[in-house]
A and B are shown apart, each in its own frame.
Chain A
């Protein structure tokens, strides 16, 4: 657990190849890092910075903007309980309280055994089945308190390992092709940034010197 493995460096390079500008690959690569380590270690962020020609401060600054990217260790299972409006109206807060007592942690905390991290999450777009939650972003709707207890038991017992991989593994399907349509579009698309984005100060092409 440190820098990206050789295999993941290859994956990162392939991802970079999908975009006209390499920085676009940052977030997809950070998901790869989380798949490797469960969270973003300092070493891995530095490695990603090297791969993309960024500073580590830029990588961390961008990563911390996003709720799914963790710079601190997370349990094997990230249990995200929704309390937003539809769930609020249908017992989401009570479900979160129940989860707190079952797991004996506050939202944002990790269980003593390190297996679960509990978080209160904003709407996860499963409002038709409120109250709902996600475990490593695998969704569960209409979750009663008994359902929750059973879910935790199943997770502990490893009965859901096929369905719910360890935290960090987001998309288990890999893209099978790179960019194949044509020569990839010009990377220098910033042909005509508007004045507000920094005007060009009087560029004037030099006269060609007579040979």
Chain B
């Protein structure tokens, strides 16, 4: 129930003598553009506050003393306003500004990355004088300087429009670049030794109206006129930003953000923007591999598939469907995920299927809670975050929430074990003792103002947050795993409390991986069938369509790994899953891979896990195959293929179809369109989301599932699963923290040891090394200061780590980032323990 903006009466202006209807409050430049009159501009950007600096958009606006030159980007329309954009006076002023911009411009267009798509070049071509009247020496600057590892600045080309500095400050909240100096010595500058490390720095390159800012991954790679482009949806994380994918021939060169209202407003994070380097990596798996004499060697698809299918047949015959499991699937398209779900649950007959790697939340919670969109979250009366640091894991969602907090005062209440990127903008950051989120949740939804501390959070802070929630019945909860070092059951417990105590609250699930939501929707989870249907609820419907189904609900990731470790699994499929890197308990993951009979990795790279597989099947990845993807809102949008997959890599759905064929079954589709048509027909939540709808203008921003067309309920063919039953839940027991221990917290950082970062040459150096962050008070107690090393003792093992004093970690906790290069926190966590307590020893 996104609230409709109030429709205000139109404002009537006279534009070049023509009556034009404008929207109240909009700037002349925007009203004119919608009326078909393009007023030239450089500093104006529709997603940022105007500054009126470049003076290119000067038009004549009639005031009390006659017409006056006025920046069209800075003056709002007014009833009866007369605007002239084409008079000789306007033309001369604009020509003059253009000439001024060019006097010190190097005019090095032939070697400039922006050449061919440069507003300054275009304006000059369209309106500029044929020759220069400027005969003086131009201003010179040292050619390009690095603002960061990713962004370079050529100050000779800069026209001081402040788009980049405004973006950094206003949109990203990272004012690490600012103007320095004055007059025509003015320059965009970082502070010495403090590079522009904003996660969003690439946006400044995209919005730079000249070639002043360039990105190292694209620099000198192509000329704009050689580029072809398709529109697609980023699958680096679950926000699902719309983007343009560009290639030069069959070579990916660049992504650009595409502005859609409901999701990314044109912005991308740097991981999404520059991650194309991983796709074109030379390290890709390009042929099927089979382990022979201990080594993975290239084989034909036929040999690889025969090997896998014969192993499967043996397993099924001897050990039954329960001996087969499928892990992963968030990398897949919706169609891929559906095909694999059908293969697993119908052909193989196993429900041991999980797209998540023990680092998310149970599928029935994600799918069962009433869902919110990003717009719902931004326009909520109050937003509760029981989630990881969205700046690190879902960066563009962070931009949206930050903007909502700053622009419209969205009250944000964080329930978090440590300070996050959003804490600066949150009305309340309730830092709970790891494991005790549910206690905080109970206090927030209690019928009277909390009078006592709960979960380590002071009563006063709880009480303020409680009051905020009292003020509204429009609450959205962003729900994910605040820390991987506490059991998901603890978060589920807290979520149940919130769902029960905040009737009408909607949930935006903050699971991170690209298409994890699509994978869950398509049934890649235990006990779930495509279309958000429970196994039992959908049994009749799917049995009719698919034939056989698993007899009972299967194991989740942790259960699958445990079964494998115990030697109970004959066949373990890893669909782009790397449990050695991503499962919070590396010991269990290691034992699982060792204990599984045959491990088949369907992967794009040889990850730590797929390196240990018996068979590796090369898969196509983003931009190499079409399909659809689903973001955290449940928004289904189209993916586009721009380049061909490398070598013999196949789309995942084809691999599933081929395997089914070799098991003497037909999945029932021979092309991608047929897969989607079957999803639309069978999956209740996706009913009505036709290919035609997705391809139509109405589907341009994606379509949020379900459509909520009333016709669905009357079909009577399928029953949507009941939403999560909200009860008090079972309180999870764990020992109290003793005075000498610290309780472990672990969240992910944007730059990590994952595939996108480690396989992108420009990004792989950005991952920070692992350091132990501890509250200064606790560090003092130990007699340790920032930079010192300590020995950390966990129940499982001990290790030596460098420390950092960080007041953003509450007393009594110790924070380690997850999946950093080298050994890490997964070595310390025991998946069977609710929390992990550690002791520090001063070396």
Kindly list chain B residues whose C-beta atoms are within 8 Å of the C-beta of A62.
178
B176 touching A60, Cβ below 8 Å: no
- Contacts beyond the supplied A65-B182, A203-B408: 8 A-B pairs with Cβ under 8 Å: A55-B191, A64-B181, A196-B27, A196-B76, A202-B6, A206-B471, A209-B472, A209-B473
Q: Which A residues form the contact surface with B (CB < 8 A)? A: 42, 45-46, 54-62, 64-65, 195-209, 211
A57 touching B472, Cβ below 8 Å: no
Q: Does B379 contact A (CB under 8 A)?
A: yes
Kindly list chain A residues whose C-beta atoms are within 8 Å of the C-beta of B177.
57
Chain B, Cβ-Cβ closest to A198:
B49
Kindly list chain A residues whose C-beta atoms are within 8 Å of the C-beta of B27.
196
User: With A42-B193, A198-B49, A200-B408 as given contacts, are A208 and B178 in contact (CB-CB < 8 Å)?
Assistant: no
The 21 listed contacts between A and B (C-beta, < 8 Å) are: A42-B193, A45-B191, A55-B178, A57-B176, A57-B177, A57-B189, A57-B191, A58-B178, A60-B178, A62-B178, A195-B25, A196-B76, A203-B408, A205-B472, A206-B381, A207-B474, A208-B470, A208-B472, A209-B469, A209-B471, A211-B470
Taken together as a complex, chains A and B put the C-alpha atoms of A118 and B464 apart, in Å, by 58
Chain B 642-671: CB-based contact to A (< 8 A → 1; otherwise 0): 000000000000000000000000000000
B175 touching A58, Cβ below 8 Å: yes
| Interface size of B in residues (CB-CB distance below 8 Å) | 38
Q: Does B294 contact A (CB under 8 A)?
A: no
Kindly list chain A residues whose C-beta atoms are within 8 Å of the C-beta of B714.
none
Taken together as a complex, chains A and B put the C-alpha atoms of A63 and B447 apart, in Å, by 53
Secondary structure call for the B interface: loop
Chain B 1-44: CB-based contact to A (< 8 A → 1; otherwise 0): 00101100000000000000000010100000000000000000
User: With A57-B175, A57-B191 as given contacts, are A202 and B49 in contact (CB-CB < 8 Å)?
Assistant: no
A-B contact count (CB 8 A): 91
Kindly list chain A residues whose C-beta atoms are within 8 Å of the C-beta of B447.
211
Taken together as a complex, chains A and B put the C-alpha atoms of A200 and B409 apart, in Å, by 9
Kindly list chain B residues whose C-beta atoms are within 8 Å of the C-beta of A54.
175
Shortest beta-carbon distance from B265 to chain A in Å: 12
User: With A65-B181, A199-B25 as given contacts, are A206 and B472 in contact (CB-CB < 8 Å)?
Assistant: yes
Taken together as a complex, chains A and B put the C-alpha atoms of A197 and B49 apart, in Å, by 6
Q: B49: which of A57, A61, A196, A209 is its contact (CB, 8 Å)? A: A196
Q: Does B74 contact A (CB under 8 A)?
A: yes
Q: Does B64 contact A (CB under 8 A)?
A: no
A42 touching B74, Cβ below 8 Å: no
Kindly list chain B residues whose C-beta atoms are within 8 Å of the C-beta of A208.
470-472
Taken together as a complex, chains A and B put the C-alpha atoms of A59 and B379 apart, in Å, by 34
Kindly list chain B residues whose C-beta atoms are within 8 Å of the C-beta of A46.
191
User: What 6 A-B pairs are tightest by C-beta distance, nearest first?
Assistant: A206-B472, A206-B381, A61-B178, A56-B191, A57-B191, A64-B180
Kindly list chain A residues whose C-beta atoms are within 8 Å of the C-beta of B25.
195, 199
A202 touching B408, Cβ below 8 Å: yes
Taken together as a complex, chains A and B put the C-alpha atoms of A97 and B273 apart, in Å, by 56
Which of A59, A196, A197 counts the most chain B CB atoms within 10 A?
A196
Kindly list chain A residues whose C-beta atoms are within 8 Å of the C-beta of B74.
196
Q: Does B194 contact A (CB under 8 A)?
A: yes
Q: Does B128 contact A (CB under 8 A)?
A: no
A64 touching B408, Cβ below 8 Å: no
A42 touching B407, Cβ below 8 Å: no
Kindly list chain A residues whose C-beta atoms are within 8 Å of the C-beta of B789.
none
Chain B, Cβ-Cβ closest to A45:
B191
Q: Does B192 contact A (CB under 8 A)?
A: yes
Kindly list chain B residues whose C-beta atoms are within 8 Å of the C-beta of A57.
175-178, 189-191, 194
B189 touching A61, Cβ below 8 Å: yes
Kindly list chain A residues whose C-beta atoms are within 8 Å of the C-beta of B181.
64-65
Shortest beta-carbon distance from B692 to chain A in Å: 33
Chain B, Cβ-Cβ closest to A67:
B182
